[in-house]
Amino acid sequence: MRKVGVLGTGAMGRVHGRHYLKIPDTELHFHERDAEKAAAYAERFGAISADSGEELIERVDVVDVCLPTHLHFEYAAMALRAGKPVFCEKPMCRTTRECADLVELSHKTGVPVMPAQVVRYFPEFRRARELVREGAVGVPAAIRTRRGGAYPRGSEDWFGKFPFSGGVVMDLMIHDFDWIRWTFGEVERVFAQSLTFSGIEELDYALATLTLESGALAHVEGTWADPGGFRVTFEISGCDGFIEHDSRLAAALRTTTAGGSVSESPLFPAEDPYYSEIRAFLDAVDAGTPPPVPPEDGWAAVALCEAAIESVRTGRAVKPAHL
């Protein structure tokens, strides 16, 4: 029986808990300091409560960190030192300095850590990457992504505290930064503007332009200011074709080339991306192989976020700190 410990019972802790129940021979443990929330989580998932994060880490085989971002490094590092593999929600850490220390600790202890960059497991994003790598659009020239919805609610409004969450850039746009780098290659520089430091409460919006080393441009939009609800879109333009996705449309993915337009819908409807990433991590732990999303990629994604945030502060294009 594998014992999995979830730290944090917020939205992602509940998502992860639901999927652990689908995995055979898995016993779910958790820690939540709020007694009412702990009771609700235990009842909903049949999970076993621990009195502290330290106790949880000691009793389980694998640790899943779903805490607010500024706590990721502390508890992920604690788990690695205890010899427990770590599955860590994005951003892997709040800063690149913490990411570097966590990667170093993982290598030193030989204990794996995987950042939960779940967009890699969404079928539309995965299929688009495959099409790009197969040459369906020719040489990619422009990429545009948009992600967001209403302002998120978290315990003690931690999303609204920039030192804790990193704002819409660090919490939301990191998904697309990671996918763009994974699909199209390294980023040469970042220019961004946002409302993050405007002083407007319960609102954030950012737009970043990424100049890739390949010469392609990526425009990344993130919003916590859309009352219409959550929506994700992307467009990929190349010399030979065009790929587009809109989460609100019935046609999940559309590819347009000189030969015509092809829609793919639905794409793998029974495959949940959150289950897929968790299952992939546990399979790697069981097999003793590296995690499918290496921690260095989590570090690189945070570096892109920091470059975007510095650009917002300075008004200048910023070269991200590559590994």
Mean pLDDT of the chain: 94
Cα dihedral: 226, 227, 231, 232 (round 10): 10
Q: What is the pTM of this model?
A: 0.94
pLDDT attached to residue 205: 97
Nearest to 119 by CA among 82, 86, 151, 89: 89
Which residue type sits at 77?
A
The CATH code of the domain at 2-118 is: 3.40.50.720
Q: Per residue in 115-144, pLDDT tens?
A: 999 999 999 999 999 999 999 999 999 999
Q: Which two tokens stand for residue 300?
A: 């690189």
- Model pLDDT for residues 136-148, shown as the tens digit of each residue: 999 999 999 999 9
pLDDT bin (cut points 50, 70, 90) of residue 227 is: confident
Query: Both tokens of residue 224?
Result: 């916590």
C-beta of residue 154 within 8 angstroms of C-beta of residue 68: yes
Helix crossing, 96-109 with 295-314: angle to 10°? 170
Domain ranges for the chain: 2-118, 119-273+302-314
- The confidence band for 88, taking pLDDT boundaries of 50, 70 and 90, is very high
CA 120, CA 321: separation in Å to the nearest integer?
Answer: 22
Indicate the length of the chain as a whole number: 323
Which residue shows structure tokens 């290659």?
185
Classify 295 in phi/psi space as left (phi over 0), alpha (psi -120 to 50) or beta.
alpha
Q: Which CATH number fits domain 119-273+302-314: 3.30.420.40, 3.40.50.1100, 3.10.20.30, 3.30.360.10?
A: 3.30.360.10
